[in-house]
Amino acid sequence: MDALIPRPRAEVAPGAVHVPDWLDLDEQRRLVEACRGWRGYRQTRLPNGGVMSVRTVCLGWHWHPYRYSKVTEDGSPVLPFPSWLGDLGQRAVASAYGPSSVYAPDIALVNFYDSAAKMGMHQDKDEASLEPVVSLSLGDACVFRFGNTSDRGRPYTDVDLRSGDLFVFGGQSRLAFHGVPRVLPGTADPGLGLAGRLNITLRVSGLPSSS
């Protein structure tokens, strides 16, 4: 029944825009296939010894807590950032902020969440640029907690992110804390052929390409 009720776009906070059902099912399938083709998903070990529950692969720049480089932990070159993904990011920002927006991402972090995975409240602040972050959701729905720029506590808003949804945050909300307290297993469209949740986030590094 929920699928029959249109979900309106919403500005969750200044500069933070949720566009439900932005990707149609065919576009979602193509992205899932692309995600399956990118090799090297791993659980990231944090400096405090903890291990993230999501599995991640990086394109363009490899994220090491808390910096970027052109090589992975084992010294292998980071996977290239495809131009078509940059075009998708440009289209996403134009959908969120208007057709005059210009956006040229050079980083993608692809996170896979199984039914038990979570993401603690954090800021995306390792980039040298404060251009917006683009988030694309595929597969199972999740509770996406979008907070304030001061700390991990309240006020925050819990957003129901479903497969195909777009979420963009920039401007005043670019450094807002955000996280995923839970995934909702079994909520993906069976036609997508995905158990779990994939999240693609696009960013602008602001770094010289030779770093």
The region, left, alpha or beta by phi > 0 then psi within -120 to 50, assigned to residue 69 is beta
Exposure of 167 in the CB half-sphere (CA atoms within 13 A): 24
Kindly report the backbone phi and psi dihedral angles of residue 197, in degrees, each rounded to the nearest multiple of 5, phi listed first.
Answer: -125, 135
178 annotated to bind ligand:
yes
The region, left, alpha or beta by phi > 0 then psi within -120 to 50, assigned to residue 141 is beta
Helix, strand, coil fractions of the chain, as percent rounded to 5: 20, 35, 50
62 annotated to bind ligand:
no
Residue 101, burial from CB neighbour count under 10 angstroms (0-12, 13-18, 19+): middle
Record the tokens describing residue 172, joined without a space.
């005043």
2 annotated to bind ligand:
no
Binding residues for Fe cation: 122, 124, 178
Binding residues: 122, 124, 178
